[in-house]
Structure 1
Amino acid sequence: MYSFVLLTFLAAGCLKSHINAEFEFRNAVCESLDESFASFEYCYLKSVNRTYKYGSLKVKLHKVPITKIKLNFAIYKRLNGFKPFLYNVTIDACKFLKNRKINPVAAFIFELFESYSNMNHTCPYAHDVFVEKAPASSVRDKLTKVLPFPPGSYGFFSVWYAYGIARAHVNVYGTLS
């Protein structure tokens, strides 16, 4: 009996090690709240094949240079509608880009798309901002290996402020299974 229980636990451990978590983008919604300040040239998700999916966006800034940027972001989980999950953070983006250690949560989120973006320097921003071909696989690795998230549908909601005025919303939805 004892050996049967031990064998069952070992078999379950072996099976568990072969299960791969998958992250899939579901939707991206980008909205400019002040078209005279900034507008989205594009904001989309693309599925190249079954295994390679990515997201891209480009924001055209019309009143540059921008020297004061704040960001509010929140992670929601879908449970009978989207409900707050773990984080709702507001940061001074200019200070954060000078010293990423001031907010580890923001650093974690920023690392999801940092290498696919030109947002890798401190203020001022005197050029258009983009995220190009950020793959779902990169997000999956961070959400399963670095900080394990439970399976489910998630929404990443962000409000971008310049000079204390809300200028844009960027919301990205995905499923971790």
Structure 2
Amino acid sequence: MMLLLMLIADLLILSVHGWIVYKTTKIECFPNARYIRNATCGIKAVNRYRSHTNMESDIVNKLRNVSLNLQIFLRNSANKFKPFLVNVTANLCSILDKRNFPAYTTIVMNILKEVSNVNHSCPFTHPLSTHQQKRLIVKNLYMDEKFMPIVPPLGLYKIDFNFLEGYPYDDVGTVILYIQVTDVKEFKLRTKAPKFVYSTIIYKTLSIECKYNPEILTNVTCQLKPINWQKSVCIWDADIPHSLKNISIHLQLFKIYGANNFLPFLINTTLNMCDVLSKRSFSVYGKILFTILKETSNINHQCPHEEHLSLYNLYVDARLVPVTLPLGIYKAVVRFLEGYPQVFIGTTVLNLEAMEKRERRGKVNKN
């Protein structure tokens, strides 16, 4: 299992994405001796822009139900690592059995298939199994640009892969990768690869759909107001007969692909809005949410919320998006829940288009 951790671990090892290079500068491995023994993990430099990760381990206890918690951190100007976009837990056995298809499934499956012997369904090994079955191996693992759905900001990242067994979770091992994302200017003179161009991207809301629980929300207004050909804003308001004391938000993002189907894309997370508003939670999505609510709504104070809620002139500002998303059509599904056990409040579905910003041409005077 240590290998699995290692194989995914280097999912961000090194690659050239346009002119962006992802290079692993350091790796740390912390196996649990009750599951993993004889573990080795190291980095082998290939050239100035690439390094390979090699990992091996023996499994001494059968792994039947393996999960992975993946967290990404970005170092800030104060030299501290702060959460960045991803904090997700997924069941790897369900992914390998193709019973579950979370946002990161395609990346995980492609990596497992190409660089390791972790390419079969659970369980992993048995104490009486053969040596070949017990040994997990990852060789020459690096980050190929085809695995990267987005181009992240430049900087130093820390990626934590924490592998867990069963439920309640029991620690199997942890791999920590430090990855430098840089713009290699010298490389431009030594390659014939097409230059990656950072365009000015805008996010236009195409439509909005709202569903709500009439026992919690009344007099609901949900509409889209066009501003110009590349911008539209959302207007939403509702009355609350009873106060809301503990609101949670479940956010999912989907992207449309060639078959005209929406497939999961990167984000599938739940956060407590009351913790965000009271500044008890500091997730990257929480900070974005807090900034949006502060600027465009009356939901700018701590819980509880009562009487009337309103959002006005709401749109996706590119300044609030920490990464540049690929061009295309997206669907953001935002589900609101109250209390615990959670009670459904409502759902808002936004269809957006990520497109290049273009200046509108003026009329040509033929005279």
TM-score band, normalised by the shorter chain?
Answer: 0.7 to 0.9
CA shift at 1:98, angstroms?
1.6
TM-score by length of 1: 0.76
Larger Rg: 2
Say if 1:100 and 1:107, in contact at 8 Å, map to a contact too: no
Are positions 1:76 and 2:73 aligned together? Answer: yes
The amino acid of 1:23's aligned partner reads: Y
Distance 1:81 1:51 in 2: 25
Structure 2: gaps of 5 or more residues: 1-17, 126-133, 183-367
TM-score by length of 2: 0.39
Aligned partner (choices 107, 126, 137) of residue 130 of structure 1 = 137
The amino acid of 2:122's aligned partner reads: C
* Structure with the larger helix share: 1
CA shift at 1:114, angstroms?
4.2
CA shift at 1:142, angstroms?
3.3
CA shift at 1:135, angstroms?
2.5
Give the corresponding residue for 1:50. Answer: 48
Bigger relative contact order, structure 1 or 2 (CA pairs below 8 A, ≥6 apart): 1
Q: In structure 2, do the counterparts of structure 1 residues 175 and 135 end up closer, same or farther at CA, with 3 Å as the change threshold? A: same
CA shift at 1:157, angstroms?
0.3
Say if 2:96 and 2:109, in contact at 8 Å, map to a contact too: no
- String of CA shifts for 1:53-90, please: whole Å, max 9, x gaps: 201111210113x2111111111111131111111111
- String of CA shifts for 1:6-25, please: whole Å, max 9, x gaps: xxxxxxxxxxxxx7111211
Q: In structure 2, do the counterparts of structure 1 residues 141 and 175 end up closer, same or farther at CA, with 3 Å as the change threshold? A: farther
Question: RMSD between aligned alpha carbons?
Answer: 2.1
Q: In structure 2, do the counterparts of structure 1 residues 22 and 53 end up closer, same or farther at CA, with 3 Å as the change threshold? A: same
CA shift at 1:36, angstroms?
3.0
Aligned partner (choices 156, 164, 174) of residue 179 of structure 2 = 174
Q: In structure 2, do the counterparts of structure 1 residues 46 and 129 end up closer, same or farther at CA, with 3 Å as the change threshold? A: same
Distance 2:140 2:99 in 1: 23
Say which SS state the counterpart of residue 153 (structure 2) adopts: coil
Distance 1:154 1:113 in 2: 22
CA shift at 1:46, angstroms?
0.9
Identity %: 22
Q: How many residues align?
A: 153
Distance 2:105 2:30 in 1: 21
Correspondence list, 1:65-104, <5 A: 66-79=63-76, 80-99=79-98, 102-104=101-103
* Structure 1 residue ranges (4+ consecutive) displaced by more than 6 angstroms after TM superposition: none
The amino acid of 2:142's aligned partner reads: P
Say if 2:23 and 2:49, in contact at 8 Å, map to a contact too: no
Are positions 1:154 and 2:157 aligned together? Answer: yes
Say which SS state the counterpart of residue 48 (structure 1) adopts: strand
CA shift at 1:115, angstroms?
1.0
Distance 1:96 1:38 in 2: 22
Give the corresponding residue for 1:7. Answer: none
Structure 1: gaps of 5 or more residues: 1-18
Say which SS state the counterpart of residue 95 (structure 1) adopts: helix
Q: In structure 2, do the counterparts of structure 1 residues 96 and 141 end up closer, same or farther at CA, with 3 Å as the change threshold? A: closer
Correspondence list, 1:3-82, <5 A: 20-33=19-32, 35-64=33-62, 66-79=63-76, 80-82=79-81
* Structure with the larger strand share: 2
Distance 1:148 1:105 in 2: 15
Give the corresponding residue for 1:3. Answer: none
Give the corresponding residue for 2:4. Answer: none
Q: In structure 2, do the counterparts of structure 1 residues 100 and 120 end up closer, same or farther at CA, with 3 Å as the change threshold? A: farther
Distance 1:101 1:156 in 2: 23
Say which SS state the counterpart of residue 84 (structure 2) adopts: strand
Give the corresponding residue for 2:147. Answer: 142
Give the corresponding residue for 2:337. Answer: none
